[in-house]
Amino acid sequence: MSTVSFEVPGISCGHCIHTIRTEVGELEGVKGVEASQSDKRVTVEFEPPATEEIIIGLLTEINYPPVM
Ligand SMILES: [Cu+2]
């Protein structure tokens, strides 16, 4: 199991949190998603076949690109 944490400046409200949790949570291999509105961070616990690159790609696709 791996954990990765991203800064996502586009998080502005509870709807963003809900969208991110739902979309990232549906990725195969993702075991947990935490998204925080106050510090604009997304933390994901995952295992294969999910990868950091796939998670970044999905966040970018749904218009919440992480800042690395
Ligand atoms: Cu929002």
Evaluate if residue 68 carries a pLDDT over 90. no
pTM of the predicted protein model? 0.94
| Cα 18 to averaged position of ligand 1 atoms, centre (Å) | 8
| Cα 19 to averaged position of ligand 1 atoms, centre (Å) | 8
Angle subtended at Cα 21 by Cα 20 and Cα 24, rounded to the nearest 5 degrees = 75
Q: Residue 43: which of 57, 26, 52, 62 has the closest Cα? A: 52
| Cα 64 to averaged position of ligand 1 atoms, centre (Å) | 10
Tally of domains in the chain = 1
| Banded pLDDT at 50 (limits 50, 70, 90) | very high
* Domain residue limits at 51: 2-61
Q: What is the CATH number of the domain that holds 26?
A: 3.30.70.100
Domain assignment of residue 38, yes or no: yes
